Amino acid sequence: MPIYADTIISARQIITMDLSDSIVTSVAIKDGVILAVGTDLQSMQGPDTATHSFLDCTVFPGFIEPHTHPDLCAQMYSWVDISGFSHQTSVEVMNALRKSISKVPNGEWIFAFGYDPVIFPDLTGLTRDQLDQIAPENPIAVMTQSMHTLFVNSLAFSEAGIDESSEPARFGGEYVRDQTGRLTGKIEESPAMRPFLRFFDDSVKTRSNNLSKQYDRYRSVGITTIGSAGLFFRDEETVALYENETKADRLRIRNAVYLRHMDIDNHNLPKFSSNNMFGISGVKLWYDGSPYTGTMLLDQPYLNSELTTEGLGIATNSTGRANWELDDFYQLVNGLHDRGVQILVHAQGDRATREVLDTFERVLKNSPNKVHRHRIEHSALMEKDEISRAADLGISISFHMNHIKYYGQRLRDEIIGYERSQYLMPARTAQEAGIRISLHADSPMFPPNPLDLVQTAVTRMAVTGEVINEPEKLDLKDALRAVTIDAAWQLGIDDQIGSLEIGKLADFTILGQDPFHVNPNQLNAIPIIDTWLSGASTSHLI
């Protein structure tokens, strides 16, 4: 008896991203799974088979964003928008902030997101006193685009119960003080930010609406699967909101979650592998911080430029800092590895990356379990010797590629210098070393858009028009693998998604143009026609 497909889709070309880089024109689907791929699948067309033709389109496996923060996006994209992506000048930024304050009743909290001294050179680090003048009757919290720095005023300190003697309750954060010991209003890293962020309206209704909007943002740029790199809101109500988004009439995105380590023993999330829609896949750790806060851990100091010392408020001759004592970090990584937990480690600086690899090497040397898919996240600065060591240890890398696009010129000239910029985001070197890499936007830091990441990876072009570290350009095919099959491998689900092969889930991203026949500087302009999940279009969910 013949087996008929539920659905057959046809296109000008379907790029499978399988090991042979096969290109076909038809895919047959049954029960949400790929039944066959080829050029002539008419024999699988039965009386009830639906057919869909995309004859002017190119079909890819569903795009994957392996490092994002849907919960933070849902929250921060609903704050007052003062981002350099939405405003043309620093004057516009400050006017938008002042205008928002004028609309809020006295005493109510004001939250703003996107303050960015890197994009706007004439912006400097805000101070408590400045914010007291701007918002004398309201507690205010202003988050930078990097999300590693928060600026608050005196009323915010008072509302949060923080005074001159207070210290963050957990490791890795800091309430910055001046030379007299007075709080300046600068808050570094998320552990120190939490007392302020709890005042934001996170009612179930607000969170539900904002999360749904964020899932639509992912879908609109062709993303079908995300890796949530640290779920920050993990109460039962939040889990229920995510699970609600996996219902058949709402399903737009698969979400593989990486918890913070302190939540690993008390979470109530299912295993992602049990449903392939939403659940826990591993743990996210933060070893250092951000280049734009001064908490990226370096071997040699930051440049002492006007941007670093005035705009970003980084101490002269600073080399940043680690969030961990090395032995404590080893104990944590060793314990998680022994339990078979996949580990993602945020590491930006060259010293941070080396110390993380030292830790992985020590763990793996003493462990009988050599099978893992541990990752280093962002990897802003990584020298060739460390890339070789990562390859030998089986550590993969997810590159925060649009540092190059938005901040590349200022990183090179004013933060790290030309010499270190020669190992900034070394994607090609990593790929040639045999490491399976991925690309991510780390939203809400940068807007999610896999094609934009691919464009940056193959051109290395900053918004200034300069090419940053040209030898590290990726070939287009490798860049596309980094947002499909190799990203799926990093998430541990390449047996289910990432390429279009028999037995895998029928997840597609349908493009209006063929990336291989588009000017590399126009890749991010390719139209997203639709996304499909488990053999069904998501377009009706808009």
Output the pLDDT for position 200.
81
- 357-384 pLDDT, tens digit each: 999 999 999 999 888 999 999 999 999 9
Q: Are 360 and 374 in contact (CB under 8 A)?
A: yes
Output the pLDDT for position 1.
67
Pairing mode, if any, of strands 110-115 and 80-81? parallel
Residue 271's region, left for phi above 0, alpha for psi from -120 to 50, else beta, is beta
Q: Which CA distances in Å does 367 have to 128, 225, 304, 338, 385?
A: 49, 32, 43, 7, 23
- Nearest-5° Cα angle at 88, 84 to 89: 90
Q: Residues of the chain whose pLDDT is less than 50?
A: none
Ordered structural domains, the chain, with CATH: 80-197 (3.10.310.70), 258-267+280-495 (3.20.20.140)
Residue pointed to by tokens 């389109």: 57
CA distance 174 to 188: 5
CA distance 341 to 359: 16
CA distance 479 to 518: 14
Output the pLDDT for position 542.
55
CA distance 533 to 69: 21
Locate 31 and state its tokens: 């029960």
Beta-carbon neighbour count of residue 108 at 10 Å? 11
Output the pLDDT for position 211.
92
Q: Are 521 and 461 in contact (CB under 8 A)?
A: yes
Locate 324 and state its tokens: 């961990």
- 261-296 pLDDT, tens digit each: 888 888 888 899 888 999 999 999 999 999 999 999
What's the pTM? 0.93
CA distance 420 to 301: 11
Q: Are 16 and 501 in contact (CB under 8 A)?
A: yes
